[in-house]
A and B are shown apart, each in its own frame.
Chain A
Amino acid sequence: MAQKILAIISLWLHLTFILVSSPFLLGVIGKTKAFFAGKWGPPLFQPYYDIAKLLRKGCVYSTTTTWIFRAAPMIALAAVLVSGFLVPMGGFNAPAQFWGDVILFVYLFALARFFIILAALDTGSSFEGIGASREATFSCLSEVALFLNFTALALISKNLSITGLVGGGVSLPWQIIGPALTLVVISFFLILLCENSRIPVDDPATHLELTMIHEVMVLDHSGVDLAYILYGGAVKLFVLGSFLMAILIPFKTQNIFMDTGIFCSGMTGLAVAIGVIESVMARLRLNRVPYFLISAVIFAVFALIITLVRGGH
């Protein structure tokens, strides 16, 4: 019984931690971009204000839409939040960990994406159709890269749960298998940029509909729905980022506060890195994006090969 209560408490702690800290990354990215542009920029907590503002607004629905349009933001946010339960975050162990949870992790993202795409098609707008089509195309490739990365990590750590793969006291052998891990990190970073629709795959700042991918899909959402979608995006970035952090920071100090502190500074560093990339790079031409993703696949394949050779098989 006591164990059950502890499990529930850890679940709530995890959820609160994700909910509270995820929009912060967006704020850091915005601040970094403003710094590069020589501006003061919006405050760090601007994403929180945005979400709070949207939550207090009414909604406008298209007469074309159905129940799917209204449910999709909630389904997407719920799926992404639950996927966060599978990933350890600094001092917080993953509340749910079991053999093969990586598969569930990927498929929860797929579920969220599927419904957002359906919601885009539900409006009957050609702009949103374009966005949905592009999002679906790129996610196919990034899913392959993601699974190959997981396979490489599974070969290294001989485990199949996310905690066993990257965190939870099992330190990854950077000395022995460093090159492979570096490749995994690079590949994973590329996937992260794609999945969160950042430059160079997609530009979250432009409002020219024809060049956008993710933004154009949510043109018709408003009010609470838009807030959920923004929140979902932030949580997705946070969850994938914390996965990357768990690979990059392979040790634990056994002090919860210390671990969480290291984790948080790592995440801030990641956000700064994304901000720097957004400031110094241009968006890729759309027909180049598949090459970008295929390079992520190839990095993962090389990581696999190195692991196989070094792993003594």
Chain B
Amino acid sequence: MNLFLTSWYVLMAASFLMLLSARVKKICGYLFLSSLIFSCLTGLVSAIHVLCFNTPEVFRPHWQFPFGEFYIGIDALSAFFLLLFFVLMLAAGIYGYGYLRDYAGKRSLGAHYCLYHWLSASIMLTLVAKNAVLFLIGWELMTVSAYFLITFYDEKESVRKAGYIYLIATHTGTFCLLAMFLLMGSRAGSMNFDQMMAVPFSPSLVVVLFILALIGFGVKAGFIPLHIWLPHAHPAAPSHISALLSGAVIKIGIYGLIRFILIVKHFPLGCGILLLVIGAVSGVGGVLYALGQHEIKKLLAYHSIENIGIITLGLGMGMMGQAFNQDTVAFIGYAGALLHVFNHAVFKGLLFLSAGSVIRTTHTGEIDHMGGLLKMLPWTGYLFLVGSLSICGLPFFNGFISEWLVYQALLGGVFHFDIHGIIFSCLGVASLALIGGLAAYCFAKAFGAIFLGKNRSKEDCHYKESSFVLCGPMVGLAVICAWIGLFPSMMVSFSLQAAQAIMGITVPLGMEETILDPLLKVTSVLWIAVFIFAILFILKKSLLKTRPVRETETWSCGYAMPSSRMQYTASSFAAPVLRIFRTLLVFQIKTPKPKKHFPAETSLSSSVLDASEYLFFRPILYLIKKLSRKLNWIQSGHTQRYLLYIFFFLLTLLIWKLH
């Protein structure tokens, strides 16, 4: 605990010092880097210590404030989330330092660095809070500091708009959380999580609480249809902030949901099924929307929704397993979900950082304007490839391991549940298979359009690879991806530790081996694949030694003047699959009416609109706006009138209380 507190204090102290020294850019930057590295390393040690020795730690200085108390503690669950958070925060922070160097002198980087530390500190506080009020304080600080980080480029209107959408959406969620915690607190007589855990909640109340939690945490996590802020906020923010948003901030929503599950414990079966269905919908919906996007960061934002879907599938299986008293299924479900949380933070961080590196060099996010970047940006390109392979869940990388666990949980459900459980588990299997296929499709599209082929906008362009400060953190994240993919045992046992904390029982004897044993066999099969690859490589090398190897233009079926504009674009690449799912998506095709008798110029633009934004939230918000305009007369602008309102309000309160 001391290490954790040290890390926290260092962050806070450094944030104030950086504000003071904002004028001296060099000092401010070094202060940022050194405090970041120091507090991440100490924090990592404290989290790993808890996970390795399974010793929950608490810190309770008996510092009370209205309704709450400063009461924090690290159990295995908190430690697991802290672990992934520190890894990502370190990588994104160092990257951000390099990324923002261009802006030195133009913007106040001191404020940005300060807010970065505030965001980190508030996430840390949220993760260790053992009191609902403290949790909400951390939650709000996180929301607000993230808002300022998102609106870094605040001269652009789209960025300001994205910031507003984010702020409104998350505050709607916070409102539900406040209601939920008040309900729980009033039943338990205390806002401490410990007391809440000791109280049994009635089944009907549990359902109400569960719905509130789903909305409150779901907005942050990005469950469909509550996800609308994600595709706006991620592209608006600087890339390292997008990485942190996608990798850490939305995971705090998942953390909150898991903490809630841990506190309430006994749920009816329906809750687990609901979570599973939400997971399936978010997963498939997220990846379908991603296929329809041509803006790299928007595409990645929708993939975050997809991965939240996979995580939720695992959580749903965990809850269903608990409802059916099938502890093994529940353990694997929770562990798979948690491991996917970690993996997603790592590979999505990697993808956002490398996308940022692409945007920084090409000054555009439109993937249809890119192409052929692998030759000019080899590091960025291959790191993006590693991220793509991981997110598609392909073997050799970490995504495969966690998707494997989620599949195991789903198929375990097929074996051990009753008929209702089996039907929903089969649904989960089918949707996870679809998600996997579509994700591979989408990343073939993204990687192919950005890095392969020829550049679509300029025939001969020369870009320079990003510097070491940008590539270093990405390499680190890529190494973690490959490490978990080939040596999964440590992270699997960590996630089992955290699953143990959720379930409140210890892992049955021998279960860790039954989970790990097939995974180790998988890795040995993969090593054989590497061996065969090596043989094929040597064979090819030796065969080609004496044969002619020529280089020439791409064969374009006899056409003499191929140009790079003739390449298949990302939108046409994705078109066939979008056509299959056209009933689920909202297409918008804009083309101007032809003018004059011989129209010379015309254009066509097509986009896939977000159904929940355009068909659900916009009409509702429009209605609210219309209604509230009718109430406009209340807001007259005269101070006297407002005083009168207050007077009447107090009078009614008085009458009501005295009555």
Q: What residues on A are CB-neighbors of B426 within 8 Å? A: 148, 151, 304
A residues with CB within 8 A of B: 11, 55-66, 68, 74-75, 77-79, 81-82, 85-86, 96, 98-101, 103-104, 106-108, 110-111, 113-114, 117-118, 121-130, 132-134, 136-137, 139-141, 143-144, 146-148, 151, 154-155, 158, 160, 209, 219-220, 223-225, 228, 287, 290, 297, 304, 308, 313
Minimal beta-carbon separation of B233 from chain A (angstroms): 29
Q: Which 5 pairs between the two chains have the least Cβ-Cβ distance? A: A129-B568, A121-B448, A124-B453, A140-B437, A58-B547
Contact between A136 and B441, CB atoms less than 8 A apart: yes
Contact between B422 and A118, CB atoms less than 8 A apart: no
Once the chains are docked, how many angstroms separate the CA of A144 from the CA of B426? 11
A-B contact pairs, 5 of them (CB 8 A): A85-B525, A111-B394, A124-B371, A129-B448, A147-B429
Once the chains are docked, how many angstroms separate the CA of A100 from the CA of B405? 10
Contact between A122 and B453, CB atoms less than 8 A apart: yes
Once the chains are docked, how many angstroms separate the CA of A79 from the CA of B429? 23
Once the chains are docked, how many angstroms separate the CA of A224 from the CA of B544? 8
Quick one: given A64-B554, A78-B532, A151-B411, are A103 and B404 in contact (CB under 8 Å)? yes
Contact between A107 and B577, CB atoms less than 8 A apart: no
Contact between A136 and B580, CB atoms less than 8 A apart: no
Asked if B157 CB lies within 8 Å of chain A CBs, one says: no
Contacts A59-B550, A63-B554, A147-B429 known; 11 new A-B pairs at CB < 8 A: A63-B551, A64-B372, A82-B526, A98-B518, A111-B395, A121-B449, A129-B448, A141-B437, A141-B580, A148-B429, A228-B540
Mask, B407-447, CB within 8 Å of A = 1, is 11001001100110011001001101110111011001101
B549 touches which of A59, A122, A160 (Cβ 8 Å):
A59
Contact between B544 and A59, CB atoms less than 8 A apart: yes
Quick one: given A55-B543, A79-B529, A158-B415, are A140 and B577 in contact (CB under 8 Å)? yes
Q: What residues on A are CB-neighbors of B197 within 8 Å? A: none
Asked if B339 CB lies within 8 Å of chain A CBs, one says: no
Minimal beta-carbon separation of B155 from chain A (angstroms): 36
Once the chains are docked, how many angstroms separate the CA of A68 from the CA of B445? 15
Residue of A nearest to B574 (CB): A133
Contact between B557 and A100, CB atoms less than 8 A apart: no
Q: Is the interface of A mostly helix, strand, loop or mixed?
A: helix
Contact between B540 and A224, CB atoms less than 8 A apart: yes
Quick one: given A107-B400, A224-B540, are A124 and B573 in contact (CB under 8 Å)? no
Asked if B393 CB lies within 8 Å of chain A CBs, one says: yes
Residue of A nearest to B569 (CB): A129
Q: What residues on B are CB-neighbors of A132 within 8 Å? A: 444, 448, 568, 573
Q: What residues on A are CB-neighbors of B432 within 8 Å? A: 147
Contact between B550 and A129, CB atoms less than 8 A apart: no
A209 touches which of B537, B557, B577 (Cβ 8 Å):
B557
Contact between A133 and B536, CB atoms less than 8 A apart: no
Asked if B517 CB lies within 8 Å of chain A CBs, one says: yes
Quick one: given A55-B543, A79-B529, A114-B444, are A308 and B518 in contact (CB under 8 Å)? no
Asked if B556 CB lies within 8 Å of chain A CBs, one says: yes
Asked if B601 CB lies within 8 Å of chain A CBs, one says: no
Asked if B553 CB lies within 8 Å of chain A CBs, one says: yes
Once the chains are docked, how many angstroms separate the CA of A96 from the CA of B568? 40
Contact between A118 and B392, CB atoms less than 8 A apart: no
Q: What residues on A are CB-neighbors of B514 within 8 Å? A: 99
Contact between A82 and B553, CB atoms less than 8 A apart: no
Residue of A nearest to B399 (CB): A107
B434 touches which of A57, A144, A225 (Cβ 8 Å):
A144
Contact between A60 and B552, CB atoms less than 8 A apart: yes
Asked if B156 CB lies within 8 Å of chain A CBs, one says: no
Q: What residues on B are CB-neighbors of A65 within 8 Å? A: 554
Contact between B433 and A66, CB atoms less than 8 A apart: no
Contact between B393 and A98, CB atoms less than 8 A apart: no
Quick one: given A110-B436, A114-B389, are A74 and B533 in contact (CB under 8 Å)? yes
Minimal beta-carbon separation of B303 from chain A (angstroms): 15
B553 touches which of A55, A62, A111 (Cβ 8 Å):
A62
Q: What residues on B are CB-neighbors of A146 within 8 Å? A: 433
Q: What residues on A are CB-neighbors of B577 within 8 Å? A: 136-137, 140
Quick one: given A58-B544, A146-B433, A304-B426, are A220 and B453 in contact (CB under 8 Å)? no
Q: What residues on A are CB-neighbors of B445 within 8 Å? A: 136
Asked if B136 CB lies within 8 Å of chain A CBs, one says: no
Asked if B112 CB lies within 8 Å of chain A CBs, one says: no
Asked if B572 CB lies within 8 Å of chain A CBs, one says: yes
Contact between A122 and B400, CB atoms less than 8 A apart: no
Residue of A nearest to B521 (CB): A98
Contact between B436 and A127, CB atoms less than 8 A apart: no
Once the chains are docked, how many angstroms separate the CA of A111 from the CA of B423? 29
Q: What residues on B are CB-neighbors of A140 within 8 Å? A: 434, 437-438, 440-441, 577
Contact between A110 and B437, CB atoms less than 8 A apart: yes
Once the chains are docked, how many angstroms separate the CA of A263 from the CA of B570? 44
Contact between B553 and A129, CB atoms less than 8 A apart: no
Contact between A117 and B525, CB atoms less than 8 A apart: no
Quick one: given A62-B554, A111-B394, are A129 and B572 in contact (CB under 8 Å)? yes
Contact between A82 and B532, CB atoms less than 8 A apart: yes
Contact between A77 and B454, CB atoms less than 8 A apart: no
Once the chains are docked, how many angstroms separate the CA of A158 from the CA of B422? 13
Contact between B407 and A59, CB atoms less than 8 A apart: no
Contact between A78 and B567, CB atoms less than 8 A apart: no
Q: What residues on A are CB-neighbors of B522 within 8 Å? A: 98, 101, 104
Asked if B375 CB lies within 8 Å of chain A CBs, one says: yes
Minimal beta-carbon separation of B484 from chain A (angstroms): 15
Contact between A77 and B536, CB atoms less than 8 A apart: yes
A61 touches which of B404, B407, B436, B549 (Cβ 8 Å):
B549
Mask, B507-530, CB within 8 Å of A = 1, is 000000010011001101110111
Residue of B nearest to A143 (CB): B437
Asked if B374 CB lies within 8 Å of chain A CBs, one says: yes
A78 touches which of B418, B454, B517, B529 (Cβ 8 Å):
B529
Q: What residues on B are CB-neighbors of A57 within 8 Å? A: 547
Contact between A124 and B392, CB atoms less than 8 A apart: no
Asked if B452 CB lies within 8 Å of chain A CBs, one says: yes
Contact between B411 and A154, CB atoms less than 8 A apart: yes
Q: What residues on B are CB-neighbors of A86 within 8 Å? A: 525
Quick one: given A114-B444, A209-B557, A220-B554, are A107 and B547 in contact (CB under 8 Å)? no
Once the chains are docked, how many angstroms separate the CA of A128 from the CA of B408? 36
Q: What residues on B are CB-neighbors of A141 within 8 Å? A: 437, 580
B552 touches which of A56, A63, A155, A308 (Cβ 8 Å):
A63
Q: What residues on A are CB-neighbors of B564 within 8 Å? A: 124
Q: What residues on A are CB-neighbors of B528 within 8 Å? A: 11, 82, 85, 96
Minimal beta-carbon separation of B571 from chain A (angstroms): 10
Once the chains are docked, how many angstroms separate the CA of A195 from the CA of B553? 30
B532 touches which of A81, A101, A114, A148 (Cβ 8 Å):
A81
A144 touches which of B407, B430, B547, B566 (Cβ 8 Å):
B430
Q: What residues on A are CB-neighbors of B105 within 8 Å? A: none
Q: What residues on B are CB-neighbors of A129 within 8 Å? A: 448, 567-568, 572-573
Asked if B548 CB lies within 8 Å of chain A CBs, one says: yes
Which has the most chain B C-beta neighbours within 10 Å: A75, A100, A132? A100
Residue of A nearest to B524 (CB): A96
Quick one: given A78-B532, A129-B568, are A151 and B540 in contact (CB under 8 Å)? no
Asked if B66 CB lies within 8 Å of chain A CBs, one says: no
Q: What residues on A are CB-neighbors of B592 within 8 Å? A: none
Minimal beta-carbon separation of A311 from chain B (angstroms): 9
A143 touches which of B433, B540, B568, B575 (Cβ 8 Å):
B433
Quick one: given A57-B547, A154-B414, A308-B422, are A121 and B444 in contact (CB under 8 Å)? yes
Once the chains are docked, how many angstroms separate the CA of A79 from the CA of B396? 11
Contact between B525 and A82, CB atoms less than 8 A apart: yes
Which has the most chain A C-beta neighbours within 10 Å: B371, B432, B514, B547? B547
Contact between B447 and A123, CB atoms less than 8 A apart: no
Once the chains are docked, how many angstroms separate the CA of A165 from the CA of B116? 52
Minimal beta-carbon separation of B471 from chain A (angstroms): 18
Mask, B23-62, CB within 8 Å of A = 1, is 0000000000000000000000000000000000000000
